[in-house]
Amino acid sequence: MKIGITIGDVNGVGPEVIIKVLSNEHFVTKFTPIIYGSSKVMSYHKNIVKDSEINFFNISSADRASRDKINVINCWDENVNISLGKATEDGGKYAYLALDKAVQDLKAGLIDALVTAPINKEAMSMAQFPYPGHTEYIEHTIGGKSLMMMVGERLRVGLVTNHLPVSEVAHKITKSQIMEKLRLLNDSLIRDFGIDKPLIAVLGLNPHAGDNGTIGKEEEEFIRPAIIEAKKSGMNVAGPYSADGFFGSSQFTKFDGILAMYHDQGLIPFKALTFGTGVNFTAGLDKIRTSPDHGTAYDLAGKNEADETSIRSAIYMAIEVYKHRTEYVDLRKNSLKKKEKPTYAEEEDEILEDA
């Protein structure tokens, strides 16, 4: 299995955690790593990780990757001005170049999954990156509808809205939008996580989930009707729940998936419970993309203090999702074969064999 890994912001901890996780020789026997970025930049960061003996193998394309090497596709030739711990136009520019090449290879099927190291939104904006984040760019480039999902050992949280100002969130909460995200979450829990009949909790938008319409109308006008329709379609859905009590009482442990209305409603409790081990997963697309749950961590850049646990989890999850999807396709094929009526010749052969 080939896993592409983008270098992320060259001024952050992305290259460092990549080096640390790929320095484990046993770990890299599970897949073929292909780093998208620059071997020069990776060598610069290797000097920061002083005890690493990792070696990079330059390749011109993903189909030339070697199974037992740390492969690198150089997405640019020029030297890079690295300013550790700072958001710069160059940091955004080279992160964009690496991401674009990797996503094109993912779309073409040259790699089986993509793990993206952190980018900085300010730096990406300086480099004219026209998207709020990885998720929106990958959805646009790959095609299809996606769901931003945060995955940890104890919970899976999907979002109805992603990177939006809070002032715009309520306008995006509609019955159709909630239904679309519920379908994506339900399908992903089945196909990507192997959960046969997932149970999903839906959070309210307002305090106390609106208190029956006394604190906002979104629950009664959009959220509750979407839950009712989802149930009619065969999904196991409950809610809307008041977010504070839902997480405070550990009610979340009873569900396979949770649908939050907006970014911080889902990510604050998620990171409080799983920070450093969680994974950002772009669900709903035909292609697999994961990412660590932390950012560029400029305050740690260049200090050899960054923890690689989250990017390791992101790689493991990419492998697991790939396996689950393969098994899911095989199960569906076998199920269809069982439903197909045997031909007359096949029936005659069975009769002769029984005789």
Question: What local confidence, expressed as pLDDT, does residue 355 receive?
Answer: 33
Question: What local confidence, expressed as pLDDT, does residue 344 receive?
Answer: 40
Contact partners, residue 52, CB within 8 Å, separation at least 6: 19, 20, 23, 46
Handedness of CA 147, 152, 156, 162 (dihedral sign): negative
Q: Count Cβ atoms below 10 Å from residue 275 Cβ, excluding itself.
A: 13
User: Regarding beta strands 147-151 and 279-283, do their DSSP bridges make them parallel or antiparallel, or are they unpaired?
Assistant: antiparallel
Structure tokens at 297: 């961590």
Question: What local confidence, expressed as pLDDT, does residue 52 receive?
Answer: 84
Instruction: List pLDDT tens digits, range 313-334.
Output: 999 999 999 999 999 877 776 7
Residues in the chain predicted with pLDDT less than 50, given as ranges, are 341-355
Measure the CA–CA gap between 129 and 147, rounded to whole angstroms.
21
SS (H, E, C) 134-190: HHHHHHHHHCCCCEEEEECCCCEEEECCCCCCHHHHHHHCCHHHHHHHHHHHHHHHH
Output the CA angle 319-193-219, nearest 5 degrees.
130
Question: What local confidence, expressed as pLDDT, does residue 238 receive?
Answer: 98
Q: Which domains does the chain have, with CATH numbers?
A: 1-144+286-355 (3.40.718.10), 146-284 (3.40.718.10)
Tokens 């046993």 found at: 26
Measure the CA–CA gap between 20 and 164, rounded to whole angstroms.
33
Give the pTM: 0.89
Structure tokens at 250: 């550990």
Among 164, 147, 154, 138, CA closest to 264 = 164
Tokens 């995200």 found at: 181
Question: What local confidence, expressed as pLDDT, does residue 212 receive?
Answer: 85
Question: What local confidence, expressed as pLDDT, does residue 338 receive?
Answer: 53
